Every structure is written in structure tokens, then in C-alpha cells.
Amino acid sequence: MKTNDGRLYVVSGASRCGKTTQVAKMMARSRRAVAWDPEAQWCELPGWRKITSRRELLAAIKTPGHMRLAYVAGGSLKEEFDFICACVFAAGRHVAGLDFVAEELADVSTPSKAPEKWGILVRRGLKRGINIYAISQRWSEADKTAMGNASAYIVFTTRPKDIKYVCNSTGLEIEELKTLAPFEFYMIDPVTHEKTKKKLQFRR
């Protein structure tokens, strides 16, 4: 049976290295997108709609056409993240495929198994046409489920204390990661182990 599978991109790197900018560039042509936006940065991008309540999110995510939703939640971050993951999975299953950005994962997960709804989304969402961009400054503090199910790794410059963990998880050599210049990153295929070095390009 042919399926329109999504992809899981695991994105790592220190603060302000270019992670969010690169993901936004990759999603430039996305027609249906939802962002977990705890730092209220996606909602500031052109074309994105700021969502601040569960009721508003539930109503908006049912839209079958074009949408770009940035969920800036209050209350318990872990509970709200669990909620948005459930919404994204249901939308992908019952409405249409979409792109989902999960920012600052170390704030809402732990180094052990992924939390319930996030784990379901990571393990079962791809075959429902959901592309996932899992972003964290410190993957040593985020869940191993996303790391283990990645379709591709995007690795920017990393804090010294995290370099060994990132290299062990992605197959990069320590010296390769240490010598990355600002805004440079590696795109790594975990199956073929192919590594491509790139540099984030900004519009002039």
C-alpha cells in the first residue's frame, strides 16, 4: 500500500545559531503548518497566526486548506505540549497532512522515552503525512524517541558539553562539529550516513 509519508527532522544547536531560521526556510512552501511556539517567535513571522487558547487551536486546526498556526500557550508547558501533539496527530489523520514545528523540546520532554502524545506523533505521525521539525538546544536533555526515529539530522554549532552526545547520536566526528563556523550546519542521513555541510543563507 502506497503512503505519503512525512519526515522527521531532528534539529540541534546552541542558542541563536540559526535553527529556527533554517527550519522556516525549509517550510517556505508549506501550505499547512503548526508551530509549538513557547518563545513567541513563529507568531512574529509573516503569514503566521498567533493562537493562545485550546479552543482557538481546535477550531483552527480543523481547516482543510492553507493555514499557519503558532501556538503560544500559557499554563503548564508540558500539558499544553501534550495537547497540541494530540491535535496535530488528529489533524494529520482526519483532515490532511501538515508540517509541525516542536521548539525547545528539552523544556517539555526528558532524556527517556517521549511523553505520551508526543511519542505517538513521532512514532505514528509520519505515515499520516505529517512532517515534524523537532528542535532543541540540548538533545542530551530531550527525548531519545525523536533522535532514534529521525529521517534526517540538522546539526549546527553545539555547546562544548553537548558535543560528544550529539556526535554519538548523529554519526558526526567530534572535529567536524567543533570546526563548524557560525551559521554552518550538517545535514545527515541516518540510514546512508551521508553528510552534507551547508551554510544558512540570509536574504539581503
Task: List pLDDT tens digits, range 11-66.
Answer: 999 998 999 999 999 999 999 999 999 999 999 999 999 999 999 999 999 988 89
| Contacts with 176 (C-beta within 8 Å, 6 or more apart), sequence order | 186, 195
Section 72-95 average pLDDT: 95
User: For the chain, where are the alpha helices, taking DSSP H only?
Assistant: 19-26, 54-61, 77-94, 116-124, 144-149, 163-170, 174-178
Q: Which three cell numbers stand for residue 6?
A: 512525512
Cα 129 to chain centroid, rounded? 15
Cβ contacts of 189-198, under 8 Å, gap ≥ 24: 189/152, 190/150, 190/151, 190/152, 190/153, 195/171
Question: Percent of the chain scored above 70 by pLDDT?
Answer: 98
Cβ atoms of residues 49 and 67 within 8 Å: yes
